[in-house]
Structure formats: structure tokens, C-alpha cells
Amino acid sequence: MKKVYGLLLVIAVVAAVVISGAFKGGQVTNNEKSLNVVLSNQDYATLGNVEMESPVIKGNKLTNIKATFNAPGDEAIIYFDIVNKGDDVIINKLTIDDPLFSAEGDNMEYEATKLASNFTYQLVYDSNGYQVQGGNLIERGTYKRVKLILKYNEEVSEPIYSKVTVTGLNIEFSYENV
């Protein structure tokens, strides 16, 4: 019988550890802070002669970014909001996939590294131009307007005289409570 009681005690301790709330008046209340942060309100603008498809927001990820640039100096800007409907959080991980580059034109083939060297991108807050990065605070009940800037550099290392398409640049955020 001692073995059975010991097993029941272990099960009871494990069950108590698994339940992350406290019983009050017949209800379970969770002591965890609310984590309710979403991306929303995306839009884009172009400078120069850029063909742009509207990106897609899926949860905490901005996907389907596709822009075709026609000349050095062309720029695409994608705007979106980080909306915090819960408690204070910090960005604990920011993942930006490496973009894919392709060129088209009359018998022109370029290596991706040559194409990539002619482009820059940055993710900044619209209000102050500061870089978005891990550790940034998103206060409860607020939103931060962010912009992703893709630019075909005006001074290119190796001129490309055809359309250059950028795809595969996905951005994903994860957050943790402060």
C-alpha cells in the first residue's frame, strides 16, 4: 500500500505543477500576463518604377513580399502595425528571411549574390526611424507603426539593365511578457 500512496502523491504533485492557475471561489484564475500582440493594417508605397504585390499578414508574420524593380533608385516601402492588446511585452525574437533575387531581360543571367549586392533593406519604426530589433518594448494597449524599406541602390556595384524581382523576404515576430 505504501507504493500506491507514493504514486498518488507523485501524481498529485505533478498535477499541481501542471495547473498554472489558482482556485478562487470555484473558478480557476490564471496568473499569467496576457500576451495578445498582432500585426495589422499593412499598406505599401513605391518610389520610382516598382511593381508591387500586396504582402500578407498571417498572425505574427508578414509574408508574400514581392517587388519588381526596374532601375537603380527604385524603392518599395511596406507599412504595418504591431498592435499590443495585452500586457507590456518585448520582442524576444525577430526573424527576417533572406530575400531571393531574380533578373529578367534579353539573355541576361545574374548570380543572386551580384543582384543582392545592389539592394538594401531595413526594418524601422515609422515615428523615429530607429531599427526594429529584439528587446524592443511594446507597451500594453499601444501600437507601433513599422516600415520595411527595400531599395535598389542608386550607386550599384555592377549595373543590371533588366527587371529585378525580390521575393521570399518574410518577417516573423515573437514576444514575451515583461
Handedness of CA 155, 51, 121, 140 (dihedral sign): positive
Average pLDDT, the chain: 78
Confidence of residue 21 (pLDDT cuts 50, 70, 90): very low
The label of the residue with cell 555592377 reads 158
Instruction: Check pLDDT > 70 for residue 155.
Output: yes
Instruction: Check pLDDT > 80 for residue 27.
Output: no
**Amino acid in the structure at residue 105:** G
More confident residue, 51 or 159: 51
pLDDT digits (tens, 9 = 90+) for 67-123: 999 888 999 999 999 999 989 999 999 999 989 888 876 545 566 777 788 899 999
- Rounded distance, CA 44 to CA 68, Å? 14
Task: Output the pLDDT for position 109.
Answer: 59
Confidence of residue 7 (pLDDT cuts 50, 70, 90): very low
Question: Residue 53: which H helix or E strand, with range?
Answer: strand 50-53
- Rounded distance, CA 154 to CA 158, Å? 11
Closest CA to 44 of 132, 124, 119, 147: 147
Instruction: Check pLDDT > 80 for residue 66.
Output: yes
